[in-house]
Structure 1
Amino acid sequence: MRIAARNLVWGVRRRTIVSDVSLDVQEGETLGLIGPNGSGKSSLLRLLAGLRRPLSGRVEIGGQDIASVPRRTLARQVAFVQQSAATDTNVSVRDVVRLGRTPHRSALSGWSAEDETAVAAALDRVDMAGHRAQAWQTLSGGERQRVHIARALAQAPRVMFLDEPTNHLDIHHQIEILRMVRDLDLTSVVALHDLNLAAMFCDRIVVLRNGAVAASGTPEAVLTEALLRDIFRVEAEVGPSSRPGQPHIRFKAG
């Protein structure tokens, strides 16, 4: 599904956090959101996913203004993976993933074969089927992120939004998670803080500064030495990597 945002504005009290943002995400594309801390990445993601209503502007998913789409209908099309989630409840991996079926079930409906198939397929897709009976509290950080994504996949969405899904993970799990997201047959928007990972796994990148779009384009076009100096206030060398069109950033110590 294609995503189109037009002139989005959102804030709290008198502070504007998202300022006149417009962007387009093509069907099947992975778009990366990058920017300094406080640049509005998480707030923009929540606006795009329909979790917050803009003060002005609009978001269309699949050509429909999401403000006019019933919440349950939207939840069948759109999944949101937050940075992290903790629970003290003694639940299994399967129980967590089952929550993804909520938009497809009424209050009185029982658990169906279709629900079970969706959960099993989601666990298979993130390579966690062998952990289905394992307690949530015993999982590693990378495994928990895989389960978060499985829960989102159990919704059977067409679009997925991810808010820094690799936060606090070691580099092996960061690469593993982002490779998995890129290979999903979905339209994805992912907020990231690691610029080299954004270059590796995103088709296009939008750079935010003070809630506004500072740059947009392919990683090769966007991630320049001048932009890194201007937006992130770092000195770096940007050169080619082993993959065409994928720049590699080498930060200077000073």
Structure 2
Amino acid sequence: MSVIAENLTWGVKRRTIVKNISLNVAEGETLGLIGPNGSGKSSLLRLLAGLKRPAEGSVNIHGKDIARTTRRALSKEVAFVQQNATTDTNVSVRDVVRLGRTPHRSALSGWTPADQDAVANALSRVGMDHLQNQSWQTLSGGERQRVHIARALAQSPRVMFLDEPTNHLDIHHQIEILQTIRQLDLTSIIALHDLNLAAMFCDRIITLKDGAIVAAGTPEAVLTEELIRNVFRVNASVSTSPHHGHPEIHFRAS
């Protein structure tokens, strides 16, 4: 397994936000995390990526306990893409992606051909190589998100965590971003709020409610009318897409 979590629990003060969660993710799998706002998706992602330390439980990535792994070593294995990270600095697209090489370089080391190749390859994989000299400030929301993914790829990770990477994007860019992620040769764990996008692009889905797992499995097994009603408190009909075979959710007014 690529990522294994056992009995993760975490909270703030007296509030438990992630409750006794265990999961495993296979090499190359795309796992979706869904749930209403406040269900613990973002907190669970940060625990899995080593950005938060659990009160209880453990996370192993490729057989290594991340609590016993240095931040630098972990950053060579794992990349994290935030919802809408930004910068006020007027830098080029290439300079943003170059930041992904930081875990592989010492303070005194120069820029190497390997670094250059990693940046060029990352830009190419997300289709942004033709804009590498353009200013970050001039990019659209979808282009910026692709650059963030390129920066993560420049780390040369084996596992990528993405926290609602399609948030605030129009539907065209949402699909474009998720197609890009799906085509990468990586293990991906993605928090999503759009159930239809989760059905289209994820191999398996975990549903969270109040910090706990309430369902896990394939999109067909998880995305049922009963679950949507009980977890998201909306009525919906679920059918099978005639084009792709994945579930299609059609929401109905109460």
Question: What TM-score, normalized to structure 1?
Answer: 0.99
- Aligned letter for 1:165? P
Q: 1:243 to 1:222 in 2, by over 3 A?
A: farther
User: 2:188 matched to 1:160?
Assistant: no
Distance between the aligned counterparts of 1:244 and 1:24, measured in 2?
26
Distance between the aligned counterparts of 2:125 and 2:243, measured in 1?
26
Q: What corresponds to 2:123 in structure 1?
A: 123
Question: What TM-score, normalized to structure 2?
Answer: 0.99
**Per-residue displacement from partner, 1:16-40 (whole Å, max 9, x unpaired)?**
0000000111000000000000000
Q: How many residues align?
A: 254
User: 2:94 matched to 1:99?
Assistant: no
Q: What corresponds to 2:251 in structure 1?
A: 251
Q: What corresponds to 1:178 in structure 2?
A: 178
Instruction: Supply the RMSD in Å over aligned alpha carbons.
Output: 0.8
| Runs of 4 or more consecutive aligned structure 1 residues displaced over 2 Å after TM superposition | 242-245
- Aligned letter for 2:188? S
Q: What corresponds to 1:110 in structure 2?
A: 110
1:99 positional shift: 0.2
Q: What corresponds to 2:143 in structure 1?
A: 143
Distance between the aligned counterparts of 1:209 and 1:88, measured in 2?
36
Distance between the aligned counterparts of 1:121 and 1:171, measured in 2?
26
Distance between the aligned counterparts of 1:134 and 1:204, measured in 2?
37
* Contact kept in structure 2, 1:220 and 1:245, CA below 8 Å: no
Q: What corresponds to 2:195 in structure 1?
A: 195
* Contact kept in structure 2, 1:219 and 1:245, CA below 8 Å: no
- Aligned letter for 2:100? G
Distance between the aligned counterparts of 1:123 and 1:170, measured in 2?
22
User: 2:28 matched to 1:28?
Assistant: yes
Q: What corresponds to 2:224 in structure 1?
A: 224
- Aligned letter for 1:184? L
1:47 positional shift: 0.2
User: 2:234 matched to 1:204?
Assistant: no
* Contact kept in structure 2, 1:9 and 1:57, CA below 8 Å: yes
SS of residue matched to 1:180: helix
1:253 positional shift: 2.1
Q: What corresponds to 2:62 in structure 1?
A: 62
* Contact kept in structure 2, 1:73 and 1:103, CA below 8 Å: yes
Distance between the aligned counterparts of 1:81 and 1:169, measured in 2?
15
**Per-residue displacement from partner, 1:144-185 (whole Å, max 9, x unpaired)?**
000000000000000000000000000000000001101100
* Contact kept in structure 2, 1:26 and 1:187, CA below 8 Å: yes
